[in-house]
């Protein structure tokens, strides 16, 4: 039995807490791996490691809180104005299909809005930073490099450049998300959809657990194919075949590891931090 639902809203507290918890676990792994590399390659690197580990973890914590809350908030705001993402759930727990254009539109708008806000913030910080760099370079006789930085600052300040960047972010995100959802639906049609254990909780649908293997395989295929597309574009632009092969293999492997661990981390943290809660309503054809 297939039940089609609309993702009407996301419960911000649960989403932010869980997504941040997962990001912090990833940051701990990254900090440990980076510390091992530095410890093995840099003499007397203990001081760097002591500074590096808390910096990475705290930075990931602060950024994740802002990013996850803002993404959930934007989704809830846009969901009141636009068509929401539709999800087909088979046998009560397997995601059998995701709406393509609605998903691509929603994700693209969220990413574009975040980009615009980040750009506006950078307008206050970047000119001051680059101006200081230019003055320093001029005093040290690096006039050519200083002029290059000045040209870059002038370029990114042009209205045409700004519009191109905003348009580019939206189009690229839309195309890649659209392709990703098509791949998802093809995989799910062959019985490889993501499996979630769901329950009702205070008017919301709670995600009790995720099948990590199904999640890892799904996104390994998606990231592998997207890596293949970008690698082909790079090859046409002058890249080489070994880098294409490496990019595809890297995309597949990294996609599997990242999303498999994400599923494992979710199942580990759900009883401790609380499950993600979403509002699913019956899909209505207008």
93-118, pLDDT tens digit by residue? 889 999 999 999 999 999 999 988 87
The pLDDT of residue 18 is 96
Across 41-55, 212-226, 253-267, least confident range:
41-55
Whether residue 136 has pLDDT greater than 70 = no
Hey, what are 84's tokens?
A: 């929401």
Mean pLDDT of 216-242: 85
Mean pLDDT of 132-138: 57
Q: Could you tell me if 65 and 24 are in contact, meaning their C-beta atoms sit under 8 angstroms apart?
A: no
**C-alpha distances out from residue 168 to 116, 118, 135, 172, Å:** 12, 15, 32, 6
C-alpha of 69 from chain center: 13
The pLDDT of residue 49 is 66
CB neighbour list of residue 105: distance below 8 Å, 6 or more residues apart: 82, 83, 174
Range of the domain at 156: 2-282
d(CA 105, CA 242): 34
**C-alpha distances out from residue 183 to 202, 221, 256, Å:** 34, 8, 15
Domain tally for the chain?
A: 1
**C-alpha distances out from residue 47 to 31, 50, 56, 194, Å:** 14, 5, 15, 43
Calculate what percentage of the chain has a pLDDT beyond 90. Answer: 48
The pLDDT of residue 119 is 76
The pLDDT of residue 142 is 58
Mean pLDDT of the chain: 84
The pLDDT of residue 209 is 94
Ramachandran angles phi, psi of 42, nearest 5°: -115, 120
Hey, what are 86's tokens?
A: 């539709």
Highest mean pLDDT among 47-51, 86-90, 117-121, 280-284: 86-90
Q: Could you tell me if 160 and 186 are in contact, meaning their C-beta atoms sit under 8 angstroms apart?
A: no
β-bridge partners, 6: 86, 281
Hey, what are 195's tokens?
A: 């499996």
The pLDDT of residue 52 is 74
Alpha helices in the chain (DSSP H): 12-41, 46-79, 100-139, 143-156, 159-187, 212-236, 241-273
Mean pLDDT of 220-225: 93
The pLDDT of residue 236 is 76
Q: What is the H or E stretch that residue 88 is in? A: strand 86-90
Q: Could you tell me if 152 and 167 are in contact, meaning their C-beta atoms sit under 8 angstroms apart?
A: no
């Amino acid at each position: 039995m297939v039940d089609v639902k609309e993702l009407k809203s996301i419960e911000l507290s649960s989403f932010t807490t869980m997504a941040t918890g997962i990001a912090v676990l990833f940051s701990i792994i990254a900090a440990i791996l980076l510390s091992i590399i530095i410890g093995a390659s840099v003499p007397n690197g203990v001081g760097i490691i002591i500074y590096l580990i808390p910096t990475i973890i705290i930075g990931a914590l602060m950024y994740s809180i802002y990013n996850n809350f803002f993404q959930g908030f934007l989704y809830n705001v846009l969901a009141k104005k636009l068509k929401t993402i539709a999800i087909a759930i088979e046998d009560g727990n397997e995601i059998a299909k995701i709406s393509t254009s609605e998903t691509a539109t929603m994700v693209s708008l969220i990413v574009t809005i975040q980009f615009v806000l980040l750009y506006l913030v950078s307008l206050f910080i970047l000119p001051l930073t680059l101006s200081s760099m230019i003055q320093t370079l001029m005093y040290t006789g690096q006039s050519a490099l200083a002029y290059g930085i000045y040209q870059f600052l002038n370029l990114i300040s042009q209205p045409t450049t700004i519009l191109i960047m905003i348009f580019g972010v939206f189009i690229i995100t839309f195309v890649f998300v659209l392709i990703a959802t098509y791949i998802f639906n093809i995989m799910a049609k062959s019985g490889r959809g993501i499996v979630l254990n769901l329950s009702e909780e205070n008017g919301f649908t709670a995600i009790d657990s995720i099948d990590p293997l199904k999640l890892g395989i799904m996104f390994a295929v998606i990231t592998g194919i997207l890596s293949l597309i970008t690698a082909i574009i790079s090859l046409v632009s002058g890249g080489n075949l070994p880098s294409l092969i490496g990019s595809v293999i890297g995309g597949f492997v990294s996609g599997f590891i990242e999303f498999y661990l994400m599923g494992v981390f979710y199942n580990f943290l759900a009883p401790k931090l609380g499950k993600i809660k979403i509002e699913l309503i019956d899909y209505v054809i207008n």
